[in-house]
Structure 1
């Protein structure tokens, strides 16, 4: 197939210092997190990379849910969605936001989490523009 371009680079391996340099130059760095390690969810490396890069927040895109609820909204139609939670509230209420080790890492480094529905068009841009979308945990 002819694209009219000789070479297109869509991604490069993650190297922390290189990613920091891209950020220093004003580039946008998108990470598709996973680290190829068995018994590790994609949540943990996502938080780990965000902490390493001193990110302002982590956008947690979920399939089929638009935030954090007090019960599974697919099983409990009366489940309440939270607009905002603290880390302590998530832990005290046993809410399943992400894998617990990743969540604790985010808490320990005061990394805000924005949980939203990946299928909502414009959600990430809205969050970046300060519009409340989904659930903010900080």
Structure 2
């Protein structure tokens, strides 16, 4: 018979394995604001400036802005581990837009939340790769069409 202490230790190890093996779902941030229309916010100078100012402590926050502001440091530190797929896609969309269209705002946000600049660097590298791949596809497509026309 196994003594109680060994059973307790084995139970603890088993529970740890279950937890890290995916049997317990990873907690996610609230999904209450997942249906916010990001395209509408990105298209509106006033709305986007309001969110940026909220995140930079330069203006008031809407309820969803407060939620974003409270979760942003953790999401960045943990590579959005607790984000839903929809939140991750939305975060990428917004960050890509700000990097491409409002670089001064991105620089301020980056200084506050991600001072090492790794997200921007990674995004720009992947953007360059995607652009090169698109150019190569276009060139290959043109060559194929040219070869077909010769026949």
TM-score interval for Structure 1 and Structure 2 normalised by the shorter chain: under 0.3
Structure exhibiting the larger radius of gyration computed from Cα positions: 2
Give the number of the structure whose residues are more often helix, by fraction.
Answer: 2
The TM-score normalised by the length of structure 1 is 0.27
| TM-score between both structures, scaled by the size of structure 2 | 0.26
User: Per chain length, whose mean CA-contact separation is higher, i.e. which structure has more relative contact order (CA < 8 Å, sep 6+)?
Assistant: 1
